[in-house]
Chain A
Amino acid sequence: MSIVSGEARFQPLFDRWAASVRRRLLARRVLTGLAVGLALAVAPAIVAWRTRHGALRPVCVSLGILGAAAGALVARRKRWSDVDVALWLDDRLETEEAITTAVALPGAAEEDDFRAVVVTTATSALTKADATRVRPTVLRPLHALAPIAAAALVVLARAPLPPAPVVAQAPGEARVQLAQVEGLKRVAKLAEARARDPQQRERLDQIARDAEKLRADLEKGMEKREALDRIAKLRDAIAAERLTLGEGEKRAGLEAAISKLQQSETTKDAAKALGDHDLEKMDAEMERIANAREQRDREEAKRTLEDAAAAAKAAGAPDVAKALEDEKKSFEERERRAEALRDLEKAMEDAGVASNEQKSEAETLDRKGTDEAAKKLADAMGKALEKLTPEQRKKLAEKLAKQAKKGGATQSDPQDLKDMAKDLSTPEGQKKLEDELKDMADADDESAEAQGEGQLGDAEQGADGAEGDINGQGQQPGEGQGPGSGKGHGEMPIPLPGNGGSNDASGDGNGSAGHHHDTGTGPHNGHTNQVDADSLRSRARGPISHAPGMPGSTSGWTPGKNGGTANVQGTGGLTAAAPGEIDGVDHSDVPKEYREQVRQYFQP
């Protein structure tokens, strides 16, 4: 065997073995990377499953592929050199580093006797080498992770996603959707309500717009709490609007008017109602006086209204003055109507054509003095007139003519009586009179301010109704009072002594969560013993003060004025100013009506 042939045989033999060794090392590192990558992929796959990101689960497998690629990269970077492979082969084949020497020793074999011998020895060893002995192991215990992790990934990828956690909604988060909210329509009608001035017109329009917008939002659906919040704002705005008469700089005018009204016993209640900004109540009070039979009271009331209007105007409250003047006009209309009705009723009674109903309504008008009573009387008289025979009509006309000559049974205009008598002389005139009586029955004599106040009240009730509608629909689980016990909420709040049955309405309706309306049909047949006046043992005996309420005062922040300073030193903002400092705080008395309320509260 020549040296050259030995060298020629050694190199390809060595290269083949080296390639085999390197391939196995590469396979091992790729497998290791794959196993580690797949094992790492399990964690994000679990997270994706738990968080119900199902689409991400298969993507996690790419971590395994990445791991395999990383393993290949590492294998390439840590690739064994020829000398490393030779050392490995020498160790496995126990060739005393002959292969290493043959690979590492520089120079050609033919130039070196010793190297030639070494190459021959190495070639011989490689030729006889046993593959199972020489090849590095590929599989490691770590590689067992690969199939386990792959199986886990498959299971995770196929497993159904867990149900979404039930998150308890915060109170009021429930959505509410209402197609029709009648209450908001009533609020929206404020756009057509009478306005005292352009500023109020603008405010009322704004309230109406807000109500319309809320209604539109409710149709689409919105959060209950937001809906309730907006309803509350609407209610606040309406309530504030009811208090705008004579507020702010016009307060003094209002106070002056109230003071004037209080000076008369007749209009004291009206003064109180005005102080409470309850113009409807004031109007009702004036209505009672206007329909009263006593002329002296009516005259005094008219005069007091005139004085109050003048005082309000003088004190810089034209709106209060105008309201009082309107009230006076309305008063006069009512007075005239009541007088006419009374004259006609007197004449009919004298003529013996008055019906029983008419008489009853006339008594009611005298007793209550309300517009309603006057209207009912007019209605009853109209009906009675329809039934008159020509003789009775003639007789009635005569009675009216006689009253006109006397100057009327009341303080009505005698010319009016003459006209009525003349009208009754013909059937057409009678028909005309009947129509006039019907008009009286249908007439609305309320003052303009009272009408506006009534519209605001109606809007406020509408807002209440809308709130009720929303609360009725927007219940959500857990928000109510829990499962009903079947008894409902029928118990009376105050137990009263009774002989029979139970005082609590033990309804047998099926209670349900939330504000279930009680439809219980339990017995309500108990009764309370009659209270004997002699047996009354307790009575409030507090000292009664007939004097006006004690003076008091309130302090509040006022808007700054041009040129004004917060305080004497002029150092700070308006909100830092103390009472008494220039322009800082507006000082005002506690409203008299409030003091009056307090005083009356303690009155027995």
Chain B
Amino acid sequence: MSNDFELRLQQAKGAVVRLREAIATVIVGQTDVVDQVMWGLAAGGHVLLEGAPGLGKTLLVRTLAQCLDLRFSRIQFTPDLMPSDVVGTNVLVMDAAQRAAGSMFQVQKGPIFGQVVLADEINRATPKTQSALLEAMAEHAVTIAGQRHVLEEPFFVLATENPIEMEGTYPLPEAQLDRFLLKVVVPNPSEDDLCEVLVRTTGRAPAAPPRVIDREAVLALRDMCRDVAVAEPVLRYAARLVRASDPTVSEAPELVKRAVRYGAGVRGAQSLVLAGKAVALCEGRANVSFDDLRRVAKPALRHRLIRSFEGEADGTTTDSLVDALLAAVPTRPAAVEAERPRAEARRA
């Protein structure tokens, strides 16, 4: 049984590796972004991608959908987009036979009914339309004309947004941000990566990426992710990290106390652990480590820290706040922590 499980772990790790490689055939660089998207996929959460236009966010999501052999739909958010444009609506039936059968309306499903949904430039729509995604993301179901429709699993929303400082954007409400498991910041490519992008995009169109994982494999991956073991000290570390993000507690670092208005809540801790499990799974491990939590801390917490006026005024970023948390909160008990530098020195 254990051997079978180890085999399944290795298969899962292999699938992730294959998926990463397939994406890499289209996306140049951005390995961290790709990894974080993988974690979101494995954990069963939704991912918000933030970056300037032209950094390949949409291409990444499209490529992922192609590699997963899942039904892909795209919603281009614009200021005049209506909620019904997202979730769908009832339309009048024109077919006489159907009308004779008593059905005057039929459901016209919106793009939300895809399995990999790209909510492109989500912050360009009005908050009302943005909120249309809430039920779908949280409950994997939508209600059209009073009738609830369950979305087909796996349901994976990948939203992109431009930085909120840009013209014509609406900041996402905190309630909706909270629904995203991870917020991935897409950085500008390096010089080498940019050269490679130029080579690939200015020649002939590249071949479509291969489909490496089917729907069942994705569901199995998500299923296994929940089983990854987490030791109590690791859980406590996650709890301490999240508690320290609350400026009202004594353990919070000075920067947090000054620059944060609301810290990450319970959903933040859940996201931290779940994403940590995804990291362990993607690396073929059966348990979560402190390092897993530290790696996912930024994508899992950065969109859950609400900065204070002072924090915003002095330009404190949420990433620097997470860095402060990671620096201030010890991973292990004090006695063990005290021994570590001596051991390191001895090794050196």
Interface of A toward B, CB cutoff 8 Å: 2-3, 6, 78, 80, 83-84, 87-88, 90-92, 96-98, 100-101, 103-105, 109-110, 112-118, 120-121, 133, 136-137
CB pair A91–B332 under 8 Å, yes or no, is yes
CB pair B234–A114 under 8 Å, yes or no, is no
Min CB–CB distance B276 → chain A (angstroms): 11
Q: Within 8 Å of chain A (Cβ to Cβ): is B262? A: no
CB pair A113–B342 under 8 Å, yes or no, is no
CB pair A116–B1 under 8 Å, yes or no, is yes
Distance of A13 Cα from B283 Cα, bound (Å): 26
Tell me the residues in window 283-324 of chain B with beta carbons closer than 8 Å to chain A beta carbons: 285-292
CB pair B5–A100 under 8 Å, yes or no, is no
Residue of B nearest to A21 (CB): B339
Distance of A242 Cα from B312 Cα, bound (Å): 112
A-B contacts besides A101-B288, A110-B1, 8 pairs, CB < 8 Å: A97-B233, A97-B290, A100-B233, A105-B229, A116-B1, A116-B2, A118-B287, A120-B6
A-B contact pairs, 10 of them (CB 8 A): A88-B336, A91-B340, A91-B343, A96-B291, A97-B288, A98-B289, A101-B229, A103-B231, A117-B286, A121-B287
Distance of A137 Cα from B232 Cα, bound (Å): 27
CB pair B1–A114 under 8 Å, yes or no, is no
Given known contacts A114-B5, A116-B1, A117-B286, A100 and B335 CB-to-CB distance under 8 angstroms: no
Q: Within 8 Å of chain A (Cβ to Cβ): is B347? A: yes
Min CB–CB distance B240 → chain A (angstroms): 14
CB pair B336–A137 under 8 Å, yes or no, is no
CB pair B2–A80 under 8 Å, yes or no, is no
Distance of A405 Cα from B247 Cα, bound (Å): 151
Give the interface centre of B2, B230, B288 by most chain A CB atoms within 10 Å.
Answer: B2
Residues of A within 8 A of B4 (CB): 113
CB pair B232–A83 under 8 Å, yes or no, is yes
Residues of A within 8 A of B181 (CB): none
Distance of A84 Cα from B288 Cα, bound (Å): 17
Chain A interface helix/strand/loop/mixed: helix
Distance of A6 Cα from B234 Cα, bound (Å): 23
Q: Which 5 A-B pairs have the closest CB atoms?
A: A96-B289, A117-B286, A113-B5, A101-B287, A101-B231
CB pair B5–A117 under 8 Å, yes or no, is yes
Min CB–CB distance B293 → chain A (angstroms): 10
Q: Within 8 Å of chain A (Cβ to Cβ): is B346? A: yes
Distance of A98 Cα from B288 Cα, bound (Å): 8
Among B2, B231, B280, the residue within 8 A (CB) of A105 is: B231
1/0 per position for B186-224, CB-CB distance to A under 8 A? Answer: 000000000000000000000000000000000000000
Q: Within 8 Å of chain A (Cβ to Cβ): is B227? A: yes
CB pair A118–B339 under 8 Å, yes or no, is no
Residues of B within 8 A of A109 (CB): 2
CB pair A87–B287 under 8 Å, yes or no, is no
CB pair A118–B1 under 8 Å, yes or no, is no
Residue of B nearest to A98 (CB): B287
Distance of A117 Cα from B229 Cα, bound (Å): 10
Q: Within 8 Å of chain A (Cβ to Cβ): is B9? A: yes
Residue of A nearest to B8 (CB): A113
Distance of A114 Cα from B4 Cα, bound (Å): 11
Q: Within 8 Å of chain A (Cβ to Cβ): is B228? A: yes
CB pair B342–A104 under 8 Å, yes or no, is no
Min CB–CB distance A26 → chain B (angstroms): 13
Distance of A402 Cα from B235 Cα, bound (Å): 157
Min CB–CB distance B222 → chain A (angstroms): 15
CB pair B286–A121 under 8 Å, yes or no, is yes
CB pair B1–A84 under 8 Å, yes or no, is no
Distance of A2 Cα from B286 Cα, bound (Å): 17
Distance of A87 Cα from B286 Cα, bound (Å): 17
Distance of A115 Cα from B290 Cα, bound (Å): 17
Q: Within 8 Å of chain A (Cβ to Cβ): is B333? A: yes
Residue of A nearest to B342 (CB): A137
Residue of B nearest to A115 (CB): B229
Residues of A within 8 A of B9 (CB): 117
Given known contacts A92-B343, A113-B5, A137-B343, A87 and B233 CB-to-CB distance under 8 angstroms: yes
CB pair B343–A84 under 8 Å, yes or no, is no
Distance of A133 Cα from B6 Cα, bound (Å): 28
Given known contacts A97-B288, A97-B290, A117-B5, A80 and B230 CB-to-CB distance under 8 angstroms: no
Residue of A nearest to B9 (CB): A117
Distance of A90 Cα from B332 Cα, bound (Å): 11
CB pair A104–B232 under 8 Å, yes or no, is yes
1/0 per position for B66-108, CB-CB distance to A under 8 A? Answer: 0000000000000000000000000000000000000000000
Residue of B nearest to A89 (CB): B336
Given known contacts A91-B340, A96-B287, A84 and B234 CB-to-CB distance under 8 angstroms: no
Residues of B within 8 A of A92 (CB): 343
Min CB–CB distance A321 → chain B (angstroms): 108
Residues of B within 8 A of A118 (CB): 229, 286-287
Residue of A nearest to B292 (CB): A96
Distance of A2 Cα from B336 Cα, bound (Å): 33
Distance of A98 Cα from B228 Cα, bound (Å): 12
Residue of A nearest to B286 (CB): A117
Residues of B within 8 A of A80 (CB): 335-336
Given known contacts A136-B339, A137-B343, A113 and B1 CB-to-CB distance under 8 angstroms: yes
Residue of A nearest to B230 (CB): A101
Min CB–CB distance B346 → chain A (angstroms): 6
Min CB–CB distance B229 → chain A (angstroms): 5
CB pair B287–A88 under 8 Å, yes or no, is no
Give the interface centre of A80, A104, A109, A117 by most chain B CB atoms within 10 Å.
Answer: A117
Among B1, B231, B290, the residue within 8 A (CB) of A104 is: B231
Distance of A112 Cα from B228 Cα, bound (Å): 10
Residues of B within 8 A of A97 (CB): 231, 233-234, 287-290
Distance of A101 Cα from B290 Cα, bound (Å): 11
Give the interface centre of B9, B230, B287, B342 by most chain A CB atoms within 10 Å.
Answer: B287
CB pair B335–A84 under 8 Å, yes or no, is yes
Residue of B nearest to A90 (CB): B289
Among A88, A101, A103, A133, the residue within 8 A (CB) of B347 is: A133
Residue of A nearest to B4 (CB): A113
Distance of A97 Cα from B294 Cα, bound (Å): 13
1/0 per position for B223-266, CB-CB distance to A under 8 A? Answer: 00001111111100000000000000000000000000000000
CB pair B333–A87 under 8 Å, yes or no, is yes
Residue of B nearest to A116 (CB): B2
